[in-house]
Homo-oligomer: A and B are copies of this chain.
């Protein structure tokens, strides 16, 4: 019984036995030749190699898997009911992963799960050996996936550092220094009152970006009053609320740094409702490089991440990890690149008399 299905494959693949027969060898020998066993004569190896790809032989992953325990597949579990800054980039991220995997004849197994119930999904994939290891996007500060995989003995690579990175391989974007540079840049353009609006506090990216911003402000000797620090702005509406609160302060900031592009888009409306204009009365720099930001008026300055490249490196690192490279040797960062667009080009004339002091009357003059 089981699943009886008529539409079986047309051509009946060439198996390793076919290759062996064509050469008068045994399949064991062919297998060892192809897998670089040292007890195979070099001449035999090239004969086997030649015949194998002349016959178009491609080993059957599942057949290998049952003996080796490896299916040459990267696992990726996307958590769905979650704010997804990477939504516009999912394509590129998947492309990076998939291409890098394909280059080594690996494939990509994707699953989704509601954030809470991800555990069961991982367990199923592990139990059925659908993946040799996992890439963990959007790491949280306390991330239950890490312990789960650690205990199961399944290799993984974090995208974003973890609170306790012992024994973890990770890849990360230098978002901290990006935010730090944002603070520098705004300060150099004359801003003294710069506010920050963060994202979801449970995630490591949020910590990193906020800290980077604060370092940047500290570098420039600029104070950051509590009222200038917001958090938890994920959606455009969140960002609008935060901007509204900031702009309604007695001493409103002249610039806002957002952790998330999407939230930053809300600043435009908040400013407009107060007769101000982003890019003229208020500078905004955000992070993500969301293409939609390019269509804002003026376009949103932002830090862009090369998601394709990130995916590719993550895939390569995970494959290396599965093959045995120690986790400690698999740690990389990649810089983000700044898109210096209109929203950031607000220059505050530095009055020598008031330079260094907080001077509220600086704000608001047209052009």
Contact = CB atoms under 8 A, between A and B. Distances in A.
Contacts of A102: 111, 121, 124
Nearest to A3: B323
A3 B62 contact: no
Contacts of A71: 62
B61 A9 contact: no
B84 A5 contact: no
B90 A9 contact: no
A324 B70 contact: no
Interface stretch (A19-27, A127-135, A189-197, A214-222): A127-135
Interface stretch (A35-43, A331-339, A357-365): A35-43
B94 A5 contact: no
B3 A322 contact: yes
Contacts of A324: 3-7
A201 interface: no
B70 A60 contact: no
B8 A69 contact: yes
A194 B37 CA distance: 71
B60 A66 contact: yes
A236 interface: yes
A62 B65 CA distance: 6
Interface in A66-114: 66, 68-71, 73, 78, 80, 84, 87-88, 90-92, 94-95, 98-99, 102, 105, 107-112
Contacts of A84: 91
Given A8-B153, A91-B84, A68 B111 contact: no
Interface residues of A, number: 71
A321 B7 CA distance: 9
Interface of A: 1-11, 13, 35-38, 56, 58-63, 65-66, 68-71, 73, 78, 80, 84, 87-88, 90-92, 94-95, 98-99, 102, 105, 107-112, 121, 124-130, 151-155, 236, 265, 292, 295, 321-324
Given A102-B124, A129-B62, A1 B36 contact: yes
A335 to B, nearest CB: 23
- Listed from nearest, the 4 A-B pairs whose CB atoms lie closest are A62-B62, A10-B153, A62-B65, A95-B112
A7 B155 contact: yes
Nearest to A133: B7
B111 A109 contact: no
Nearest to A90: B90
Contacts of A37: 1
B98 A7 contact: no
Given A36-B1, A324-B6, A66 B62 contact: yes
Contacts of A62: 61-63, 65-66, 71, 129
Nearest to A81: B95
Nearest to A295: B236
22 contacts: A1-B36, A3-B68, A3-B322, A3-B323, A4-B323, A5-B323, A8-B153, A9-B126, A9-B152, A9-B153, A9-B154, A11-B152, A60-B128, A61-B62, A80-B91, A84-B91, A90-B90, A91-B112, A98-B110, A108-B110, A109-B109, A265-B295
